[in-house]
Amino acid sequence: MVADLFRSRAALEAEIWTLRQQINVLRRTAPKKQTFSSIDRWIFVCLYRLLPGVRDALAIVKPVTVVKWHRAGFRLYWRWKSKARGGRPAVPLQIRKLIREMSIANPLWGAPRIHGELLKLGIEIGQTSVAKYMVRRRHPPSQGWRTFIRNHADGIAAMDLFVVPTISFRLLYGLLIMGHGRRHILWFGVTAHPTPEWIANQVTEACGWEQAPRYLIRDRDGAYGEVFIRRLQSMGIRDRPTSPRSPWQNGYAERLIGSIRRECLDHVVVLSERHLRHLLLSYMKYYNEMRTHLSMEKDTPVPRAVERAGHINCRPVLGGLHHQYVRI
């Protein structure tokens, strides 16, 4: 290239015409799409950078392609120049999972509250990092149904009717009323003809006027009539009937009736209404005072003290279907 500076103008123009003719021949014979190496692109970009007017002399590549290569090189340059050289250390995956779990389990907590809990656990992390890994919610935070029911369980009662056949194939109806607070049985009623008046009187005897629950969950059985609904209103109880064909909405009562059948009625032949009432009252005493429950951490609905001293004595319950173990 240095020797070209001392050549005559005619020789240079002749060489240029020769090169252009060769390019024309190559353009006719070579494929339409040419491949360029990184060095080729770099040379074209540098020439365009120094003398933008060289775009008019381009033959095997379009000017817009050279401009695109130049912009791509500009982006790569600044990406390399802006690459992080340090910064705060990455948050471990275990801590990120913990932050996510805490934000899901406590929807009313914000980043400062979770950050404070993490500091008490000996986890050194910034509050902005906590906010970064929290679960994003589209709606304002709200408690779940399980939390809502647990907080209001002491003021909720449930009731349901169940059928028991006697030895003479006569049908008797049992009425169960239970509290949601400690899953305890409040009342058992037995009759052969459940009427709205009878059910209303059973609710009054079970709850009384002074200790009536705030809500009462029941199904839509036809036995509950206007007399029953008016009695609830006069006692200040809010009636909460379940949706049609939705026994799961009264799950506590349905499950308790299943336990009564499995643990008592399926093993006994009921003789009469009096006999059934005696069985149910005996089971109520066993269920409330002796039977431990998994949902209450192996305690009974009526709290039962732990006995550590004395000789263990066994007492039959319900004719020996179950037994009570006490220390004396």
Residue 199 shares a structural domain with residue 310: yes
Residue 25 shares a structural domain with residue 47: yes
Q: Does residue 207 lie within any of the structural domains?
A: yes
pLDDT at 174 (0 to 100): 97
| Count of structural domains within the chain | 3
Domain that holds residue 97: 93-139
Q: Which two tokens stand for residue 201?
A: 């009187």
pLDDT at 310 (0 to 100): 86
pLDDT at 67 (0 to 100): 72
Residues contacting residue 99 through CB under 8 Å, at least 6 positions apart: 114, 118, 130, 133, 134
What 148-156 contacts at long range (C-beta under 8 Å, 24+ apart), as own/partner pairs, is 149/180, 152/214, 152/215, 153/179, 153/180, 153/181, 154/179, 154/180, 154/181, 155/213, 155/214, 155/215, 156/180, 156/181, 156/213, 156/214, 156/215, 156/216, 156/217
Centre a 10 Å sphere on the Cβ of residue 195 and count the other Cβ atoms it contains. Answer: 13
pLDDT at 281 (0 to 100): 96
Tokens 């058992």, residue? 188
Residues contacting residue 114 through CB under 8 Å, at least 6 positions apart: 99, 102, 103, 106, 130, 134
Residue 72 shares a structural domain with residue 120: no
User: β-strands 238-241, 215-218: how paired?
Assistant: parallel
pLDDT at 306 (0 to 100): 87
Alpha helices per DSSP H over the chain: 9-29, 38-50, 63-81, 93-105, 111-120, 127-133, 145-152, 196-207, 226-235, 251-263, 273-289
Q: Does residue 234 lie within any of the structural domains?
A: yes
pLDDT at 235 (0 to 100): 94
Q: Does residue 16 lie within any of the structural domains?
A: yes
Q: CA-CA distances (angstroms) from residue 178 to 113, 160, 185, 243?
A: 38, 9, 4, 20
Residue 64 shares a structural domain with residue 99: no
Residues linked to residue 215 through DSSP beta bridges, in sequence order: 156, 238
The single-letter DSSP state of residue 321 is T
pLDDT at 144 (0 to 100): 65
Q: Does residue 87 lie within any of the structural domains?
A: no
Residue 50 shares a structural domain with residue 170: no
pLDDT at 51 (0 to 100): 67
Per-residue pLDDT of the chain (328 residues; tens, 9 = 90+): 556 556 677 776 766 766 666 666 666 666 666 666 777 777 766 766 776 666 666 656 666 776 776 788 778 877 887 776 666 678 889 999 999 999 888 887 889 989 999 988 888 888 999 999 998 877 666 666 667 677 888 899 999 999 999 999 999 999 999 999 999 999 999 999 999 999 999 999 998 877 899 999 999 999 999 999 999 999 999 999 999 988 998 999 999 999 999 999 999 999 999 999 999 999 999 999 999 988 888 899 999 888 888 888 889 999 999 998 888 8
Residue 99 shares a structural domain with residue 194: no
pLDDT at 64 (0 to 100): 73
Residue 125 shares a structural domain with residue 216: no
Q: Does residue 88 lie within any of the structural domains?
A: no
Residue 184 shares a structural domain with residue 252: yes
Q: How far apart are CA 149 and CA 146, in angstroms?
A: 5
pLDDT at 97 (0 to 100): 92
pLDDT at 169 (0 to 100): 94
pLDDT at 104 (0 to 100): 86
pLDDT at 2 (0 to 100): 53
Residue 64 shares a structural domain with residue 158: no
Residue 242 shares a structural domain with residue 261: yes
Centre a 10 Å sphere on the Cβ of residue 27 and count the other Cβ atoms it contains. Answer: 12
CA 221 to the chain's CA centroid: 33
Q: Does residue 144 lie within any of the structural domains?
A: no
Residue 183 shares a structural domain with residue 292: yes
Q: Does residue 86 lie within any of the structural domains?
A: no
Q: How far apart are CA 107 and CA 140, in angstroms?
A: 9
Q: Which of 49, 81, 113 is the last residue of a domain?
A: 81
Q: How far apart are CA 56 and CA 41, in angstroms?
A: 17
pLDDT at 296 (0 to 100): 84
Residue 104 shares a structural domain with residue 190: no
The CATH number given to whatever domain includes residue 258 is: 3.30.420.10
CA 168 to the chain's CA centroid: 51
Residues contacting residue 283 through CB under 8 Å, at least 6 positions apart: 260, 263, 264, 318
If phi > 0 it is left, if psi is from -120 to 50 it is alpha, else beta; for residue 93 that is: alpha
Predicted TM-score (pTM) above 0.75: no
pLDDT at 326 (0 to 100): 87
